[in-house]
Chains A and B, each alone.
Chain A
């Protein structure tokens, strides 16, 4: 039994398995129910947008907005793929100085929200920043500098902040990949490059595509960062129309357009994966045996990693620290502010509940698909991921709209008080909206891991008499653990950074670190915003640490668990 046999696995049997597989009604129903619950607010927005179509004129610069959106998404996508994929390969296939440390440090830029990176970037490179000031002192006031507030700069900043999605997905794919495949290619005479191109990359393709889809959807829905750079995407258009014309319905029409972009991204992801479904026999292996680099190439590898890390994390966090120390020097009492602890706790608590919920749902959905169920289930599963492509405030409004309708319906049906203030009177609304928004990263990551398990394993377990619950617990969950870990971390980080939803739906007395940053940043108190911004970074680093410990353990025990799997 070899892995290359897995690669050559003929399609028909798999297809037969997929389509007629027994299909467990309970599990299939679960997926459909989840899809309906998750899709309702998004659909509410679509209905609202389409319902008022024709009553408002589209914004004048719609076409440039669409083109800008395309350019930004392609730019950031390509950037993240090269940086994230490249770094993942570097740290997995080679050993070089500081590699063990860099492996996980490279995830850290994820902890810095793009909107924070954006304002730090501008404060350093913009007209009044130190760089241009220095240039002016040296070369005079007429010195030419490239436009800082521009599309290329936005692409650069967003790439630096989002590449870790691809990095994480690629890395988990490479770790899960059996080294046998790669070794076989090498034994059969491939060079390292050929083996990478013909074996490793195709095998990693589903994960790369998943990471890329996340990056593109984040780029699509970003609204704060792009505005710093004066880049008008369709998402910016949603806000521009909403706030500029006082007409929410006109804004929802544009939100539907954003959704179309999301559909395109997901379709592209499918196309990128092609019809290929790669499964590997025997579960997790020890991964690659990394080759030790020496001399100049080794230091070049270190330098490449350090460069990405500095630009995406060390420099911006350094700048935040400098501002923060300035603040503390001016007013040390600021530091004793009890709000730090309270807001941090709020952020983390909501984020963790969201993460567990998202991962549980993703596992359930992914598992149901493997249990069979056909097109309806696959479609429903796909539907659950759309929330990620809808700007946060629009989801928030969708939740409000859905509950307002439900409230009216309940009151008509004679339930006194209807739903009451469940959405904005408690954190329920926030959690609901968060799950809608962040199911995609969880599902992408868990799903990518589940897909690598060969159907033969599932069917063996089934034929040995295990029920779906047992298979989930004893087979799918353990094998998908790397994906689950990544999913938990991604959702926690995303949720800690999230702003528009919590801003819109929070109950009285509930504030998170991101809201605090917003309140200060909105009034342009950048220096004062530095401390709460650091709180967000700190909160996002915690899950990174947890994940790293997981990954390390897996690498250490890789050999044994690999054998267990066989």
Chain B
């Protein structure tokens, strides 16, 4: 029989694969806690500090909320994950609805996290707060021009024609903002508002940093941004010609969203998982939120200086269920209004 290179190759392949498999399987069980996280900004720092203080080791993989949730579902009881961490309330609500998050009883969390920023049944808890508000070029806009009662709706006014820049309809930020507008005003009025933005020839950009650069460059006067992008850009470039206006302060308050976490149903270390979430909401708040310039959810914790300089603001109460159930309507509404 002649040697068969093809067969040899396949045998080699199989061998190599099993080596790889072995390696990663060993690596897979090396920490006490496994985390599926849609958030990855500087998690190493916060988790490192947690390990130092508690001796509990943590590893995580980052990915997209919706995809990680499908992975959790497919893995079922075999899942190595103990904590599921997302960057918006809608996905937390959806994870709980799909039965992937376990209810926990934690007086510490109930005290640390305001009621609207956590699940009533204890399946998830908000940990970091991000505000989506109006940013503007002070050379082109007098903040008195904004409608202080309903700033988002006010941008539909024809006086803002050719002056607006916003994020694309595929962005979760845009969708949850519009979902909250539907929740607040009803679908018809929300549609009217979005149509007003479109009628003003809003310039659609694909990320928040581009929005800030466009406002700074003067190609648009006003945008809607997550506050921490402005903080981050200001830190890199203190001369950035962009100011922040807290939206709807005389009305419903500024639109906010949360980054949060819950214990995975079927976790084999729910106790430590709960400890981690409790730590993140209390002693670990600054380690968790400061590097990304987010606001702590815990009212007892001070925000870091760059965002503290934006001033205090009233936030719109967060209705996670509305973010979850109305998001599909928001997508549909954006399409109907011709907002791309």
Contact = CB atoms under 8 A, between A and B. Distances in A.
A59 B229 contact: no
A331 interface: no
Interface string B69-106: 01101111011100000000011001000000000000
Contact of B340 (A230, A508, A526): A230
A273 B67 CA distance: 39
Interface centre among B27, B91, B207 (most CB of A within 10 A): B207
Contacts of B73: 404
Interface string A210-244: 00000000000000000111101000100111111
Interface stretch (A200-208, A301-309, A467-475): A467-475
B300 interface: no
The 9 closest A-B pairs by CB, nearest first: A128-B213, A509-B27, A400-B74, A245-B328, A426-B21, A244-B331, A60-B335, A524-B209, A246-B94
B210 interface: yes
Interface string B181-222: 000000000000000000000001111111001101111000
Interface in B40-92: 40-41, 59, 61-67, 70-71, 73-76, 78-80, 90-91
Contacts of B229: 524
| B interface, size bucket | 35 or more
B20 A427 contact: yes
A428 interface: yes
A519 interface: yes
Contact of A507 (B25, B31, B170, B330): B25
A532 to B, nearest CB: 13
19 contacts: A122-B210, A126-B210, A127-B214, A128-B217, A128-B219, A243-B65, A246-B91, A246-B328, A353-B20, A396-B67, A400-B75, A404-B75, A428-B17, A473-B4, A504-B63, A504-B70, A508-B31, A524-B208, A524-B209
A141 B218 contact: yes
A20 to B, nearest CB: 27
A519 B87 CA distance: 13
B67 A393 contact: yes
A503 interface: yes
A232 B78 CA distance: 37
A503 B63 contact: yes
A472 B6 contact: yes
Given A245-B328, A246-B91, A524-B209, A470 B80 contact: no
A473 B328 CA distance: 56
B238 interface: no
B30 interface: yes
Given A245-B331, A353-B16, 4 more contacts: A61-B335, A400-B70, A426-B20, A507-B24
Nearest to A364: B6
Given A128-B210, A230-B206, A421-B80, A247 B5 contact: no
Contacts of A508: 24, 27-28, 30-31, 34, 59, 61, 80
A233 to B, nearest CB: 11
Interface string B150-193: 00000000000000000011101001000000000000000000
Interface in B1-44: 2, 4-6, 9-10, 13, 16-17, 20-21, 24-25, 27-28, 30-31, 34, 40-41
A261 interface: no
B336 interface: yes
A60 B24 contact: no
Interface string A524-561: 10100000000000000000000000000000000000
A403 B331 contact: no
A317 to B, nearest CB: 22
Contacts of A357: 13
B76 A232 contact: no
State the main secondary structure of chain A at its contact with B.
Answer: helix
B78 A420 contact: yes
B332 interface: yes
Interface of A: 59-61, 122, 126-128, 132-133, 136, 141, 149, 227-230, 232, 236, 239-248, 349, 353, 356-357, 360, 363-364, 393, 396-397, 400-401, 403-404, 407, 417-418, 420-421, 423-428, 431, 469-470, 472-473, 500, 503-510, 515, 519, 522-524, 526
A424 B31 CA distance: 16
Interface of B: 2, 4-6, 9-10, 13, 16-17, 20-21, 24-25, 27-28, 30-31, 34, 40-41, 59, 61-67, 70-71, 73-76, 78-80, 90-91, 94, 168-170, 172, 175, 204-210, 213-214, 216-219, 229, 324, 327-328, 330-332, 335-336, 340
A149 B59 contact: no
A467 B336 CA distance: 64
Nearest to A427: B20
Nearest to B34: A508
Contacts of B91: 246
Contacts of B59: 508-509
Interface centre among A59, A127, A132, A141 (most CB of B within 10 A): A127
Contacts of A507: 24-25, 27-28
B74 A244 contact: no
Contacts of B76: 404, 407
A144 to B, nearest CB: 12
Contact of A424 (B71, B213, B331): B71
Given A230-B168, A508-B28, A508-B59, A59 B331 contact: yes
B213 A59 contact: no
B61 A506 contact: yes
Contacts of A404: 73-76
Nearest to B31: A508
Nearest to A239: B170
A550 to B, nearest CB: 17
A541 B42 CA distance: 31
Contacts of A126: 210, 213
Nearest to B60: A508
Contacts of A420: 78
A363 B331 contact: no
A509 B27 CA distance: 6
Given A60-B335, A136-B217, A509-B30, A431 B17 contact: yes
A397 B70 contact: yes
Contacts of B13: 353, 356-357, 360
Contact of A425 (B74, B80, B205): B80
B93 to A, nearest CB: 8
Nearest to A62: B335
